[in-house]
């Protein structure tokens, strides 16, 4: 059977930069050709797993990395020419805006000596993204502003925790601040990772059964309601997963995704009155792992583009009478003149936020809508670096700046490659790199799952990727451009080969039962069902033979899906608390099993899981310090049996939950093109063992 790398995409990426994420304790098998797996085949798989040797797996055929010729230029020669220049004005304007934000936030903090959710939080978020895209962000100033969110009145490290003295504002303040922590943790360093996880847990307590996060305080344009707070909570939950590799966070994200789907569907009857509703819906869905090719995202992107005014800007309030039907016709809105219907004074806010959102969807300065919107922001920036003198000027500037700082040192425009798409055969795509400073692009390089695959000493290239050279599953395509000054800009795309339709599987004990959640990425034109079987395990954690204890089926649909197991067998009898396996199978229209995954879980309270079991968590890195995402990690018992299998997430982290404290294990690392490795490890009850490992090229 083909092996699959199960890893789902979280886009906290800025400027089209994507970051991969994976589901947790999952063991995988696949069946191809649409044939249903028989009971004997399943038993054979189980037997093979039980007989797995503790020795390292046999070496696969050695991968030969692509080696690009030296691209150094002779002294006095001109840089590699680009057909079109980059956008240095955007970077200059963004730097000016960042300086304005920093100055204003420091002044406000000195004057008020407390945490202000509309000041430090939005500023830290903008500065974190600017830092990621290689702007001049003063680390001392950033640290001072961040400290205001941590230690001043209302800060995360005060006895009362992150929030506000007013109960009606406290929840919104926590959500806004936590979103800033998430961006900082993603793009700067690990300074606030404990604060992120703590506040994420607190926000989780606010999540309602329908997946929403409701806040009492609304003050447009900074805080606009449930769609915003839910989307920001999703960003926080997903980054908590990235930092901890604990798949329990995925169930919270996917529950919130369900809520957003419902909100978007409701727009057919009651259109939103604020473009932020659409922008935050997109940001939330991206955090949930929704790919650019999924139906709902394609429609939302089209709607944002259709709402751009003639002068290139977007207005916060939508023109009266506009129709935002999810399945409606939007072309008539393309040339709407928002000035004529009474533009809101917060156009810089809405324009920056929409550009930021569209860039997260993968659009670049090479797209007309982005170029026009960016020019509008530059033309309307004031000498101070801000865009208005209104009371919310800092928040307005924050979003205008975010629309600009998404412009990295180089723009990488990529055609015919999108996040989340299935690819097959020889998949061709094009790359156009533009230097947004001066000097020019020196080279472009492409890596597949961290192995150099192609490159050229040029600012443009085309490549036909032969997908038959990789295992079916999820793959990361990294495109990197280097300019003549040696600066590098990257974009990472997540794509799938073969029968991969279920991603981001996670489990969580909730409401006296176990929730199993996932994302279904099958095309909407592909009818399917998803089936979950509950299987018992023996004292070693191996799946017990025999009929499933319980079987639950659902019609498949694109997006988040969840199953709830109440702990009863098929006859309604209560089963003992303890370790089980959820076997989730994707079946096509004919009932053929196309993908099957096994999730090991403990059906018991979170407190029991914490107190009675250990956990093994580690980080995977390369020698140069880069994280090793999309890397297979196995947990072996004393007899060499693989008891759990996971893949590292976008930050190179992995976790094995609920391991037996009295047993000794080995962690085994497998990644094609790199040397396999093992390390002994054990985790006592109620403790976490660290299993950091380094990858070395073959």
**What are the pLDDT digits (tens) for 590-630?**
999 999 999 999 999 999 999 999 999 999 999 999 999 99
Q: Taking residues 300-313, what's their average pLDDT?
A: 94
Q: What is the pLDDT of residue 390?
A: 57
pLDDT band at 142 (very low <50, low <70, confident <90, very high): very high
**Residue % of the chain over a pLDDT of 90:** 76
Q: Is there a domain that residue 492 lies in? A: no
pLDDT interval class at 316 (50, 70, 90):
confident
pLDDT bin (cut points 50, 70, 90) of residue 568 is very high
On average, the pLDDT of the chain sits at: 86
The verdict on residue 655 lying in a domain is no
The two tokens of residue 361 are: 């969807």
Kindly state whether residue 354 falls inside one of the protein's structural domains. yes
Residue 197 inside a domain? The answer is yes
Query: In sequence order, which residues have a C-beta less than 8 Å from that of residue 455 and are 6 or more positions away?
Result: 66, 68, 443, 444, 445, 446, 461
pLDDT digits (tens, 9 = 90+) for 7-27: 322 223 333 333 333 333 343
Q: Is the previous residue joined to 221 through a cis bond, with omega within 30 degrees of 0?
A: yes
Q: Are 633 and 667 in contact, with CB atoms under 8 Å apart?
A: yes
Higher pLDDT, residue 342 or 346: 346
Question: Which residues fall within 8 angstroms of residue 609, CB to CB, at 6 or more apart?
Answer: 509, 602, 657, 658
pLDDT of 354 over the 90 cut: yes
- pLDDT (0 to 100) of residue 333: 34
pLDDT of residue 698: 87
Answer yes or no: is 694 within a domain.
no
Q: How would you classify the pairing of strands 614-622 and 688-690?
A: parallel
Q: What is the pLDDT of residue 323?
A: 39
What's the CATH code of the domain at 173?
1.50.10.20
Residue 542 CB neighbours (<10 A): 16
Closest by alpha carbon to 631, among 30, 7, 18?
A: 7
The SS3 assignment for 28 reads strand
Is position 344 within any domain?
yes
Q: Which two tokens stand for residue 267?
A: 């727009």
Structure tokens at 200: 């994420």
Cα–Cα distance for residue pair 649/633, rounded to 1 Å? 11
Residue 36 has pLDDT above 90, yes or no: no
Burial of 36 (0-12, 13-18, 19+ CB in 10 A): middle
What is the Cα–Cα distance from 130 to 96, expressed in whole angstroms?
11
d(CA 239, CA 487): 27
DSSP string, 404-422: HHT--SEEEEEES--TT-B
> Given a cut of 90, is residue 397 above it in pLDDT?
no
The Cα 432–Cα 82 span in angstroms is 9
CB 552 within 8 A of CB 606: no
pLDDT band at residue 5 under the 50/70/90 scheme: very low
What pLDDT score was predicted for residue 221?
78
* pLDDT score, position 491: 97
Is residue 539 pLDDT above 90, yes or no?
A: no
Give every CB contact of residue 276 below 8 A, 6+ residues apart in sequence: 221, 224, 227, 228, 316, 350, 353
Burial of 39 (0-12, 13-18, 19+ CB in 10 A): exposed
Kind plus residue range of the DSSP H or E element containing 508: strand 502-510
Q: What's the token pair of residue 461? A: 């290239």
Res 76 pLDDT > 50: no
User: Rounded to whole angstroms, how far apart are CA atoms 13 and 128?
Assistant: 12
pLDDT at residue 264 tops 90: yes
Determine how β-strand 632-636 pairs with β-strand 642-647. Answer: antiparallel
Q: Is residue 136 part of a domain?
A: yes
- Specify the pLDDT at position 218: 84
Reduced to 3 states (helix: H, G, I; strand: E, B; else coil), residue 396 is: helix
Q: pLDDT tens-digit profile of 273-283?
A: 889 999 999 99
Contact indicator for 460, 433 with CB cutoff of 8 Å: yes
- Residue closest to 488 by CA, chosen among 212, 115, 215, 134: 134
What band does 393 get if pLDDT is binned at 50, 70 and 90?
low
Position 337 scores a pLDDT of 38
What are 209-239's pLDDT values in tens digits? 999 999 988 887 788 899 999 999 999 999 9
Average pLDDT over residues 136-162: 96
- Stretch 147-159: mean pLDDT: 97
Confidence check: pLDDT of 394 > 80:
no
**Mean local confidence (pLDDT), 108-134:** 93
Note down the domain range covering 129: 88-406
- 449 sits in the region (left: phi over 0; alpha: psi -120 to 50; else beta) called left
Q: Which residues pair with 559 in a beta bridge?
A: 520
Number of domains in the chain: 1
Read off the tokens for 312: 């290139």
Instruction: Please report whether residue 459 resides in a domain.
Output: no
Share of the chain above pLDDT 70, in %: 84
Start-to-end Cα distance in the chain: 25
Residue length of the chain: 698
Tens-place pLDDT, residues 429-484: 999 999 998 789 999 999 999 999 999 999 999 999 999 999 999 999 999 999 99
Q: H/E element holding 515?
A: strand 513-520
Sign of the torsion angle spanned by Cα atoms 253, 258, 264, 269: negative
């Amino acid at each position: 059977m083909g092996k699959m790398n199960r890893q789902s995409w979280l886009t906290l990426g800025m400027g089209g930069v994507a970051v991969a994420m994976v589901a947790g304790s999952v063991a995988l098998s696949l069946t191809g050709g649409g044939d249903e797996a028989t009971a004997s085949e399943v038993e054979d798989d189980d037997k093979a797993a039980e007989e797995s040797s503790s020795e390292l797996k046999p070496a696969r055929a050695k991968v030969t990395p692509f080696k690009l010729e030296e691209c150094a230029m002779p002294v006095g020669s001109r840089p590699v020419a680009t057909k079109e220049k980059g956008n240095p004005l955007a970077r200059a304007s963004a730097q000016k805006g960042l300086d304005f934000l920093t100055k204003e936030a420091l002044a406000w903090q000195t004057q008020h000596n407390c945490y202000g959710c509309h000041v430090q939080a939005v500023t830290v978020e903008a500065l974190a993204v600017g830092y990621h895209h290689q702007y001049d962000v003063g680390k001392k100033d950033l640290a001072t502003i961040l400290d205001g969110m941590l230690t001043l009145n209302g800060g995360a490290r005060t006895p009362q925790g992150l929030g506000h003295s007013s109960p009606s504002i406290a929840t919104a303040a926590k959500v806004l601040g936590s979103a800033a922590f998430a961006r900082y943790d993603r793009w700067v360093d690990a300074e606030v990772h404990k604060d992120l996880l703590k506040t994420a847990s607190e926000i989780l307590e606010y999540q309602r059964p329908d997946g929403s996060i409701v806040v009492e305080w609304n003050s447009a344009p900074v805080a606009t309601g449930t769609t915003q707070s839910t989307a920001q909570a999703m960003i926080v939950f997903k980054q908590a997963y990235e930092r901890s590799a604990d798949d329990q966070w995925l169930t919270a994200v996917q529950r919130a995704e369900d809520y957003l789907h419902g909100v978007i569907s409701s727009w057919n009857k009651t259109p939103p009155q604020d473009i932020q509703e659409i922008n935050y819906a997109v940001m939330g869905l991206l955090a949930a792992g929704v790919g650019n090719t999924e139906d709902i995202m394609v429609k939302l992107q089209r709607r944002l583009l259709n709402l751009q005014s003639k002068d290139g800007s977007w207005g916060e309030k939508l023109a009266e009478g506009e129709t935002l039907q999810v399945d409606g016709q939007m072309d008539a809105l393309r040339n709407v003149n928002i000035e004529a219907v009474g533009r809101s004074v917060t156009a810089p806010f809405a324009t920056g936020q929409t550009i930021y959102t569209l860039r997260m969807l993968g659009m670049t300065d090479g797209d007309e809508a982005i170029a026009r919107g960016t020019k509008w922001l530059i033309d309307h920036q004031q000498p101070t670096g801000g865009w208005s003198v209104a009371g919310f000027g800092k928040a307005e500037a924050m979003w205008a700046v975010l629309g600009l700082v998404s412009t990295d040192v180089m723009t990488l425009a990529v055609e015919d490659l999108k996040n989340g798409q299935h690819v097959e055969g020889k998949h061709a795509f094009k790359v156009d790199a533009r230097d947004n400073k001066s000097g020019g692009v020196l080279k472009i390089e492409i890596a597949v799952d961290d192995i150099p695959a192609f490159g050229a000493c040029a600012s443009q290239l085309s490549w036909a990727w032969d997908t038959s050279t990789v295992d079916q599953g999820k793959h990361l395509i990294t495109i990197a451009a280097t300019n003549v000054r040696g600066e590098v800009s990257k974009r990472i795309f997540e794509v799938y080969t073969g029968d991969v339709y279920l991603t981001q599987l996670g489990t969580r004990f909730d409401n006296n039962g176990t929730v199993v959640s996932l994302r279904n990425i099958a095309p909407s034109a592909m009818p399917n069902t998803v089936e979950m079987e509950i299987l018992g395990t023996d004292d070693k954690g191996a799946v017990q033979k025999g009929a499933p204890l319980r079987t639950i089926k659902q019609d498949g649909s694109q997006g988040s899906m969840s199953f709830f197991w109440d702990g009863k067998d098929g006859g309604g009898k209560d089963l003992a608390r303890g370790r089980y396996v959820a076997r989730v199978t994707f079946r096509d229209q004919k009932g053929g099993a196309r993908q099957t995954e096994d999730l090991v879980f403990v059906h018991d309270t979170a407190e029991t899981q914490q107190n009675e079991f250990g956990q093994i968590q580690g980080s995977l890195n390369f020698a140069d310090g880069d994280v090793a995402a999309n890397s297979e990690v196995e947990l072996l018992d004393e007899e060499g049996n693989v008891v759990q299998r996971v893949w590292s997430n976008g930050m190179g982290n992995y976790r094995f939950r609920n391991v037996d404290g009295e047993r000794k294990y080995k962690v085994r690392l497998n990644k094609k093109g790199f040397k396999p490795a093992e390390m002994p490890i054990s985790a006592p009850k109620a403790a976490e063992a660290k299993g950091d490992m380094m990858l070395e090229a073959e």
